[in-house]
Amino acid sequence: MKRHLFTPGPTPVPPQVLAALAEPIVHHRSPDYRPIFRNCLDRLTAVFRTAREPLMFTASGTGAMESAVANIARPGDRVVVVSAGNFGQRWVQIAQAFECDVDVIDYEWGEMPAAEDLAARLRELGGAKAVLVTHSETSTGVVADVRALAAAAAEAGAFSVVDAISSLGAVPLETDEWGIDVVVAGSQKALMTPPGLAFAATSHATDGGRARGYYFDWARNRKAQEKLDAAFTPAVSLVVALDVALGLLLEDGLEAAFDRHVRLGRACREGAKAMGLELFSPDDDSSAVVTAVKMPDGVEAGEVVLSLRDRFGITLAGGQGPIKGKIVRIGHIGWFDVFDIATALAGLELALSEAGAEIERGVAVSRALETYEHTAV
Amino acid sequence: MKRHLFTPGPTPVPPQVLAALAEPIVHHRSPDYRPIFRNCLDRLTAVFRTAREPLMFTASGTGAMESAVANIARPGDRVVVVSAGNFGQRWVQIAQAFECDVDVIDYEWGEMPAAEDLAARLRELGGAKAVLVTHSETSTGVVADVRALAAAAAEAGAFSVVDAISSLGAVPLETDEWGIDVVVAGSQKALMTPPGLAFAATSHATDGGRARGYYFDWARNRKAQEKLDAAFTPAVSLVVALDVALGLLLEDGLEAAFDRHVRLGRACREGAKAMGLELFSPDDDSSAVVTAVKMPDGVEAGEVVLSLRDRFGITLAGGQGPIKGKIVRIGHIGWFDVFDIATALAGLELALSEAGAEIERGVAVSRALETYEHTAV
């Protein structure tokens, strides 16, 4: 059966990138590799919109998240986490594992964090070392205003640390211009590469701490990377693939990618609404990464996900945590066009109809296509 | 130019494995992935010769090394490192980064560690929590007797932790039978897969500690893996490839791989000696992973490596640390046959001859082929 991957990560990888993965292995200290690595780092620097080369790790995105806490915070340091979903909770768990004094601004899943809340909490607490926030909360589809959150952190003298794992390359993120201290990301979302590489853009101000741990020690990794080397054998195949993927992304330009994601989000929302479904993720252009759709009464999301997969080869994600069973999530991150949205909606329509849900038939796909076509960003 | 990769990691990857890398991305919680992951874990369990499923991490091998220290040792715990090269030193650095009380049995690079030395040191010190050893010291070609070293650790009540990154699947290693508590390895050596996956086989006795850090927390990772899940998005492409590679390895059988590596080592040593070169790595069957060859007087190893690469497309490794410039290393790990050894020796012969070294011409290749063919293990 033909497969359609619409999960919010890992995401589909273009065939050119898959082909690069199959290239013969090169040694990471050889001239067969170094120019590719150089190129890749330059392209990453452009994608992060920063002047300072981001660090690359062989790890999941969580590894880069850990690196931020391990390099910035000492035991007992006050750290504020802005959490409104599963990945906010991951920040909490990491900061706790590193024995920080963790204060959580805990929103309901699906709520949009407010910079005023953060500013107030930071004033109240005093002395926070860092603020850990999630840009795109993949579990809910909410994209937070990290520019405002970072400004609130800076105002209070705290480092701002942004998990941009599912947002980088999909929605605007200006590391330097917005004054964000640390941005972490991964290869497997809008960067259109398989999972296995993680990145951390770090400001000079965050350097000089003594890392806890070894593998994610920024100083050790930067020292090697400055010599176009890696502290530890890198996942060379993934780096070669990432270089191709970033080339595709930058050839069209980041702005084109941002525009496309906004319009894909619009198309997905309008299509879902035309079917008669309610949205869980916000019904506005901030919601450009993942569209979360509530299931009609009496329909269990997990069964819809199963039926889509088994009957039509379509993989969507269900809900996590408190919204498990209640929503399905359509990721439109990276290598997506409007016909993927059409496929996701058409599949969802079929599955819901078979599940006996009372939905409007025959309108979602055309509404999505029209919305994509006839709205400018 | 056709490329020949003879470095001791990353190593060449069979075309079937490369082809698997190029397969479309599957979601790690989907039925497209879980059976592959199951298979892969079963095969890893067989390769580690243990009853307990090893943990899989998306990381370089060093990540799995870190996991051992982070999960076993608390700050101030006494840890003894048996070091005779670059990767022994890595254990020292990791244990220091984790604030252990590190005691090093420091051999000259190229020396073979002795279990009696370890036993004596452990008696003298008392109270060691763990012993960290290197099975195949890739920097020198020495393969240590980890069975005896682990026995010495057990005798002293210390956990034995073995870095088997370049040895697993190349030379015998009996995790359970030899009573080794922790064996760590990586995908990119004898397992014939690109770098990016790391493994840790852990004994029940080592569980229950409180991990430092989050990403490499054994309990967190095992809990997910027991549900055939991953705590963090895994490098799915590499797992799919690893499954193919382990299938190739186990189809022929581990014993066949061990035999082949012994004979490849013999062939490489006899060929090098026939050329008139001196060996740096031991001239016996223990040396089945990497053959380290001393350069003739007046010949700088780095220049030989460069000339081999630029003129013939052959990548060998030079020396590291105190033996930099003095040796070249021919890796014969994983997907190698005797004709690869012949190519490496033929290239080396040409390069040395061009560098003006007085070597015997025209004998190395045939000696290597004969040795491989006419000696049984």
Query: Does B238 contact chain A (CB < 8 Å)?
Result: yes
For A17, name the nearest residue in chain B, comparing CA atoms only: B22
Judged by CB atoms closer than 8 Å, whether chains meet at B5 and A22 is answered as: no
Mean per-residue pLDDT, A236-249: 98
State the pLDDT confidence band at B209, using cuts at 50, 70 and 90.
Answer: confident
| Nearest-neighbour CA in chain A from B31: distance (Å) | 9
What pairing do the DSSP bridges indicate for beta strands B314-315 and B4-5?
parallel
Evaluate if residue B375 carries a pLDDT over 90: no
Give me the residues of A, 26-45, that contact B with CB < 8 A: 26-28, 30-32
Mind listing the pLDDT tens digit for each residue in B80-108? 999 999 999 999 999 999 999 999 999 99
Judged by CB atoms closer than 8 Å, whether chains meet at A10 and B28 is answered as: yes
Mind listing the pLDDT tens digit for each residue in A269-288? 999 999 999 999 999 999 99
pLDDT at A208 (0 to 100): 82
B171 Cα distance to chain centroid: 10
Evaluate if residue A375 carries a pLDDT over 90: no
pLDDT at A209 (0 to 100): 84
Cα separations in angstroms, B350 against A366, B183, B270, B353: 68, 40, 17, 5
Pick A70's closest partner by Cβ from B58, B62, B213. Answer: B213
State the pLDDT confidence band at B200, using cuts at 50, 70 and 90.
Answer: very high
**ipTM score above 0.90:** yes
Evaluate if residue B19 carries a pLDDT over 90: yes
pLDDT at A104 (0 to 100): 98
| Nearest-neighbour CA in chain A from B19: distance (Å) | 6
Pick B214's closest partner by Cβ from A27, A97, A217. Answer: A97
Query: Does B221 contact chain A (CB < 8 Å)?
Result: no
Mind listing the pLDDT tens digit for each residue in A179-200? 999 999 999 999 999 999 999 9
For B64, name the nearest residue in chain A, comparing CA atoms only: A215
* Residue B19, both tokens: 């082809």
* Residue A270, both tokens: 């309008």
- Chain A residues whose CB is inside 8 A of the B32 CB are 3, 315
Mind listing the pLDDT tens digit for each residue in B306-355? 999 999 999 999 999 999 999 999 999 999 999 999 999 999 999 999 99
State the pLDDT confidence band at B376, using cuts at 50, 70 and 90.
Answer: confident
Contacts of B255 (CB under 8 A, 6+ apart): none
CA angle B87, B89, B95 (to 5 degrees): 110
User: Considering chain A, what is the average pLDDT of its residues?
Assistant: 97
Contact, B70 vs B216, CB < 8 A?
yes
Q: Which helix (H) or strand (E) holds B122?
A: helix B115-125
What pairing do the DSSP bridges indicate for beta strands A101-106 and A78-83?
parallel
Evaluate if residue A374 carries a pLDDT over 90: no
